[in-house]
Chain A
Amino acid sequence: MLDVQRHANLFRAEWQKIAGHRWATGLLIWIFPMGALGILAIMLLVALLAPPDIQRNFGLASVNGSVDWTEIMLGAWNIPNEMFGRIILIAFTAVIFAGEYQWGTWKNLLPRRRRVPLIVNKFVTLGAFVVVAFGAASLIAGLGMFLPVKIAGGQYGPPLAEALQSDFVRNFAVQAATTFTATIIAAVYAALGAMLTHSILGSIMIGIGLMILELFSMGIFALLGSLFGHPEIVGLYQLMPSYNLSNVASLITHQPSVNPPFLLNYVAPNSLELSVLILFVWVFGLMTLTVLLFRRQDVTF
């Protein structure tokens, strides 16, 4: 019981720090739910003032029938899984990780708690913070559309009972878990940058560098394949986080598997389960690497 309380205290401490950094959270995280609110306000204005054809252009009345709030809610989670979203996450996590070096605050924390729980808690709290923010954006976007759609005379659905009977809840949870995973992967990239450079800017640069390297890994694998006469090496791209994050997001929103044309000749797309498993291995492996490096690091600043 006491241990649970200690962990809860540690989580709360990290949450206070993150939430207290209003510039970072405001510009990089809360901007998404705020953006959703802004879009809703525009939709309301369109619903109230614009003629029907413009309202249709704004998606307030679907051509095929009702506006599907479940699709809107699931789609809102895709932002952190795409390149722009991942850059934002790296910048945010860099502030939180490298900030401890830049503000000289590790020296206050490390005598109070072992390094492993401190850093694992940092990952978990960051992930939870981002999930809460995008969960809020998803709720605002999905449920908030009710009002402008109804004002515009459109159909809003499906009914809640029907949505709950479908895979919506499961898919919503998987989207939240994928966002959590994307945050942790971004956080690890930023944390590795922070440990090397001890600066926020350096951490962002290294984090984005690692992400770009990961995105271009398909090209690297293709090059290696042609060099060694084994073009199927390109299939290794399907083991990379970026591929699997996109694949999960796509499958959950009832779109086809991600399958870049380059890969088509060599491998079948990953299933949802395989993508989730690969992401889990990445998260566990990257976190373990960070923890090992952090445990060995001398804190001299």
Chain B
Amino acid sequence: MTEIALRLHHVAKTFGRGKKQVQALKNLDLEVQAGQVYGFLGPNGAGKTTTIRILLDLIRPTRGQAAIYGRDPRRDHGVLGQVGAIVEGAAFYPFLSGRRNLEVLARTGGAYDRGRIDSLLEQVGLAERAGQYVRGYSTGMKQRLGLAAALLSDPDLLILDEPTNGLDPAGIQEMRVFIRDLVDRHGKTVFLSSHILSEIEQVCDRVAIINQGALVREGAVADLLAGSAELRVEAAPLAHAAEVLAARWPVQPNGQSITVRADRAAIPEVVRALVAAEVDVFQVVSQRQTLEDYFLSVTQSPEANHA
């Protein structure tokens, strides 16, 4: 049986009181199996960072329970020794060097190992500039240092909140490979929150989408996108074609074409139905929905907005 790296059970969080009260999370349930990259998506203010802060014992849930490897970090703080994290962008002491920042964090965690710090600085490409004050670092360099800090204790679970913020395209690509490598070769689990959906689509095994503090969708990336494939049909007369196809598939007129909710395997059947109805078929194109399309469709639907 696969180990559960992270679990949220009916987690709710309310900030403020009275009229200023804001419900950031509403009974969120989530389960992340070990050994995968798990994407955590949501629009701004959806509750992603609040969730991450609860997991790291930075804030207390109003209700519900968070567990990491079956242990509640609030009651059993030691379990956080198995976790490395970047929360809402990496933040460091600006008056210390990159290396000194890592030393301070390693010592705070009780495990200082100079060799490991050197090796991590090398891995994230900061070895040359490790002696410089962090105040002189670019956002991308801070993110790299943040990744090194997250890996200091060789954690089993990495919680990365927007890890590619400030990275250039080459840096984003490197980060993607690095994350996949952590999971595929080193057996780690990565819980990745990002607003760059193409990045999530390329690197994650499963995703959860939250909106207004509630879970909207959850599943394997391939499954989520497979269920929402579309065909773009160009035919004449268009109205008649729409009528014919609407009898079997969900159809939406789209200017000079019709969008049909069906996957690639349905193309021959679509063509046969149209030809049988004496409709001229000019083109049928299978359109694979991107995670971005899917994300927008689920977070902007009336159902999601009333979650």
> Could you list which residues of chain A lie within 8 angstroms of chain B, going by C-beta atoms?
5-6, 9-10, 12-13, 16-17, 20-23, 99, 103-114, 118, 296, 298-300
A99 partner residues in chain B, CB cutoff 8 A: 93
Report if A300-B109 is in contact (Cβ < 8 Å); known contacts: A13-B104, A20-B95, A107-B88. Answer: no
Whether the pair B85, A9 counts as a contact (CB closer than 8 A) is no
Tell whether, in the assembled complex, residue B96 and residue A110 are in contact, meaning their CB atoms are under 8 Å apart: no
Please determine whether B108 and A23 come into contact, CB atoms closer than 8 angstroms: no
A113 close to B58 (CB less than 8 A): no
B57 x A110 contact (CB < 8 A): yes
- 13 extra A-B contacts, CB within 8 A, seeds A9-B110, A13-B104, A109-B105: A6-B110, A9-B108, A17-B104, A99-B93, A107-B56, A107-B88, A108-B149, A109-B108, A111-B56, A111-B73, A112-B80, A112-B81, A112-B109
List the 4 closest pairs (A to B, CB-CB), nearest first. Answer: A104-B91, A13-B107, A6-B110, A112-B109
Contact of B93 among A5, A20, A107 (CB under 8 A): A20
Q: Which residues of A contact B6 (CB under 8 A)?
A: none
Q: How many A-B residue pairs have CB under 8 A?
A: 91
Verify A10–B108 contact, CB threshold 8 A. Answer: yes
Minimum distance in angstroms from A299 CB to a CB of chain B: 4
B87 at the A/B interface (Cβ < 8 Å)? Answer: yes
Q: Which residue of B lies closest to A13 (CB)?
A: B107
Task: Tell me the minimal C-beta distance from B192 to chain A in angstroms.
Answer: 17
In the complex, the answer to whether B56 meets A110 with C-beta atoms within 8 Å is: yes
Q: How far is the CB of A30 from chain B (nearest CB, A)?
A: 15
Chain A: CB-nearest residue to B85: A111
Give 22 pairs: A residue, B residue, CB < 8 Å, sorted on A: A6-B110, A9-B107, A9-B108, A10-B107, A12-B107, A16-B100, A16-B103, A20-B95, A21-B93, A103-B93, A105-B92, A108-B91, A108-B105, A108-B149, A109-B108, A110-B56, A111-B57, A111-B73, A114-B77, A298-B60, A300-B15, A300-B59
- B294 interface residue per 8 A CB criterion: no
Q: Which of A21, A104, A113, A299 contacts B59 (CB under 8 A)?
A: A299
A59 to B301 Cα, complex, angstroms: 84
Task: With CB as the reference atom, state the residue of chain A lying closest to B109.
Answer: A112
Is A13 a contact of B108 with CB atoms below 8 Å?
yes
Asked if B141 is an interface residue, CB under 8 A from chain A, the answer is: no
Q: Is the interface of B mostly helix, strand, loop or mixed?
A: loop
Looking at the assembled complex, report how far the CB atom of B83 sits from the nearest CB atom of chain A, in whole angstroms: 6
Give complex CA distance A6, B81 in Å: 13
For residue A61, give the distance in angstroms from its CB to the closest CB of chain B: 45
Q: In the complex, A298→B112 CA distance in Å?
A: 28
> Which residues of B have CB within 8 Å of A17?
93, 96, 104
Report, as a range, how many residues of chain B touch the other chain: 20 to 34
Whether a CB of chain A sits under 8 angstroms from the CB of B253 is no
What residues on B are CB-neighbors of A107 within 8 Å? 53, 56, 58, 87-88, 91
Contacts of A20 in B (CB 8 A): 93, 95-96, 100
- B94 contacts the other chain (CB 8 A): yes
B104 touches A103 (CB 8 A): no
Q: Is the CB of B93 within 8 A of A105?
A: yes
- Bound Cα distance A95, B180 (Å): 40
Residues from chain A with Cβ under 8 Å of B149 in the complex: 108
A interface footprint on B267-293 (CB within 8 Å = 1, 0 otherwise): 000000000000000000000000000
CB distance from A290 to the nearest CB of B (A): 18
Instruction: A107 to B93: give the CA distance in the assembly, Å.
Output: 12
User: B95–A299 contact, CB under 8 A?
Assistant: no
Tell me which of A5, A23, A108, A300 contacts B95 (CB under 8 A): A23
Please measure, in the bound complex, the distance between the C-alpha atom of A105 and the C-alpha atom of B58, giving whole angstroms. Answer: 12
Mask, B122-136, CB within 8 Å of A = 1, is: 000000000000000
| CA A99 to CA B92, docked complex, whole Å | 11
Q: Which of B189-226 contact A (CB under 8 A)?
A: none
What residues on A are CB-neighbors of B110 within 8 Å? 5-6, 9-10, 112-113
Contacts of B53 in A (CB 8 A): 107, 298-300
Set of chain A residues within 8 Å of B73, measured between Cβ atoms? 111
Q: Within 8 Å CB of A13, what residues of B? A: 103-105, 107-108
Bound-complex Cα distance A90 to B212 (A): 42
Return chain A residues, CB-CB under 8 Å to B87: 107
Question: What is the minimal beta-carbon distance from A95 to any residue of chain B, in angstroms?
Answer: 10
Shortest Cβ distance from A105 into B: residue: B91
A75 to chain B, nearest CB (A): 33
Shortest distance in angstroms between A198's beta carbon and chain B's nearest beta carbon? 13
Query: By the criterion CB–CB under 8 Å, are B58 and A299 in contact?
Result: yes
Specify which chain A residues have a CB less than 8 angstroms from the CB of B111 in the assembled complex: 9
Instruction: Please measure, in the bound complex, the distance between the C-alpha atom of A222 and the C-alpha atom of B197, giving whole angstroms.
Output: 67
